[in-house]
Amino acid sequence: MSDGPMIDVLLATYRPQAAMLKAQVDSIRAQRGVDVNLICREDSEGLGACGNFSALLAESSAEYAAFSDQDDVWDNDKLGKSLAKMHELEAIYGKDVPLLVFCDGYVTDAELNRKPGTVLSRQRVNIAKGLCFNRLLMQNFVAGNAMLFNAALRKKAGVVPVRALMHDAWLVLVAAAFGHVGFVNKPLYLYRQHGENVFGATDCGPRHFLMRALAGVSAFRSRLMANAAEAAAFVERFGGESPKSAMVFAALPTCGWLERRIHIVRHRLFKHGFLRNLSLLLFA
């Protein structure tokens, strides 16, 4: 036991490979300067990753919590350094405000050999600009396995709605709308890239944009409508507390061609980079 605060680590599993799961559990147990309460849950009901993590959230009661994938490996200072950033935010905003911090991670193959780039560098995002609520509505880049969040955020977020894109996207939106998000500018975990990942660390370079273009306008609009559905779930949950941009985004599917583009520009519902935003204005 350490003298640090208790952190619930919420580990969702689905038919894990034993060796990978052991490596992750060992790395969680090796965390320095904090006390860890590891809560594991196997998705035997077919809830999916989002549903499984949502169920784990309901079991959490500690002052802080962190999501964990079943096949990562954490640096032994991951939680300690994340908690230090959390304390910086608490000193400014207080402990009763929803707060979330996240870090970067190295991308590896199944045997933990590093690949080029980090999880965040591969996404080609502007982190400073991208953490505002309106941009997170359009493009979330904060991964659950990189997060630490406080009890105030857990309570404010509540049950993750079915229309949320993912559990992590939902918590980031709630933190950005009603609290604050901090970034630890250092890779603090190894993210295994293998054939069984729910979501991979996509390299969003020219080839990625070409593949998206080849997928066609309907695929682009389908993704946009999924974001709009998440915004609608946000407005349904929080009502008049919701930022105006969430209300506008939720209504995009009912708007005409020109009106959609006017709303996107007026409320700065942008993605990251020229090509992404050009595609948005062309195909929305």
Proportion of the chain above pLDDT 90, given as a percent: 85
Does residue 281 come out as left (phi exceeding 0), alpha (psi in the -120 to 50 range) or beta? Answer: alpha
Residue 10 and residue 125 in one domain = yes
Alpha-carbon distances, residue 162 vs 52, 128, 166, 230, 237 (angstroms): 12, 29, 9, 9, 12
The SS3 call for residue 237 is: helix
Give the domain range for residue 257. 206-283
Q: Are residues 176 and 220 in the same domain?
A: no
Mean pLDDT, range 197-223, rounded to an integer: 70
Identify the burial level of 155 via C-beta atoms within 10 angstroms of its C-beta, where 0-12 means exposed, 13-18 middle and 19 or more buried: exposed
Same domain, 252 and 124: no
pLDDT of residue 198 exceeding 60: no
Give 142: exposed, middle or buried? Use CB within 10 Å, 0-12, 13-18, 19+: buried
32 is a domain residue: yes
CATH number at residue 35: 3.90.550.10
Give start and end residues of each alpha helix (H) in 60-203: 78-93, 127-130, 133-138, 151-157, 167-178
For residues 214-221, average pLDDT: 82
Res. 15: pLDDT tops 70: yes
Report the chain's mean pLDDT, rounded to a whole number: 93
Specify the length of the chain in residues. 284
* Beta carbons of 20 and 71 less than 8 angstroms apart: yes
Residue written as token pair 């594991």: 40
1 pLDDT exceeds 60?
no
Could you tell me if 36 and 7 are in contact, meaning their C-beta atoms sit under 8 angstroms apart? Answer: yes
Residues 210 and 188 in one domain: no
> Does one domain contain both 74 and 167?
yes
Strands 99-108 and 73-74 turn out to be: unpaired
Residue 121 in any domain: the answer is: yes
Is the CA virtual torsion 17, 20, 24, 26 positive or negative? positive
64 forms beta bridges with 7, 150
Same domain, 247 and 278: yes
- Torsions phi, psi for 188 (to 5 deg): -125, 10
Same domain as 43, residue 134 = yes
Residue-wise pLDDT for 38-93, tens only, equals: 999 999 999 999 999 999 999 999 999 999 999 999 999 999 999 999 999 999 99
Distance CA 166, CA 105 (A): 19
Number of domains in the chain: 2
Q: Are residues 95 and 153 in the same domain?
A: yes
